[in-house]
Amino acid sequence: MDAADMGADLEKVLISADEIRDKLAELAARVDEDYAGKDVLLLGVLKGAALVMSDFVRALHVPAQMDWMAISSYGSGTKSSGVVRIVKDLDTDITGRHVLIVEDIIDSGLTLSWLVANLSSRGAASVEILTLLRKPEAAKVHVDVRYTGFEIPNEFVVGYGLDFAERYRGLPFVGTLAPHVYRS
């Protein structure tokens, strides 16, 4: 799927595929330096972080294991509900591990704040966050994010793992969805 396939559903491309690739390589270089010699576990938050995680881990040079969680606070809407539900838990014991949460986007921060507290209570040596996108204007709680790819305006975005009602995840870029799609 590309921009032409979206037709009138795409308002504009915010971040191109090339910009995403370059930013993930830059973030991977920083993580390589910061986690050298450490036992790091990359924790992807499904489903949105799948593309970020796959491209990010290929850019890394430090050995890292991956695991996945699925947590839900959205349903099919466009705003976080603030109520978190674990749909799929970790398969890995994180006691004493350096956990790096890999996210696609941080909106309100409510879900991520809950996740950091949850993982910290499981005995992780450290819990840090890497996100491709962050919407500072949408924040409802403060979340310490160690690695941020792009700060974006508080607009509804799709692509590169981000969806609306499970559509548009496969776009190679991040774009804004035309309001007629989600206001109908």
The residues carrying an active-site annotation are 107
- Per residue, what are the HEC states of the chain? CCHHHHHHHEEEEEECHHHHHHHHHHHHHHHHHHCCCCCEEEEEEECCCHHHHHHHHHHCCCCEEEEEEEEECCCCCCCCCCCCEEEECCCCCCCCCEEEEEEEEECCCHHHHHHHHHHHCCCCCEEEEEEEEECHHHCCCCCCCCEEEEECCCCCEEECCECECCECCCCCCEEEECHHHHCC
The residues with which 150 forms a beta bridge, in sequence order, are 133
Question: Is 133 exposed, middle or buried (CB count within 10 Å of its CB: 0-12, 13-18, 19+)?
Answer: buried
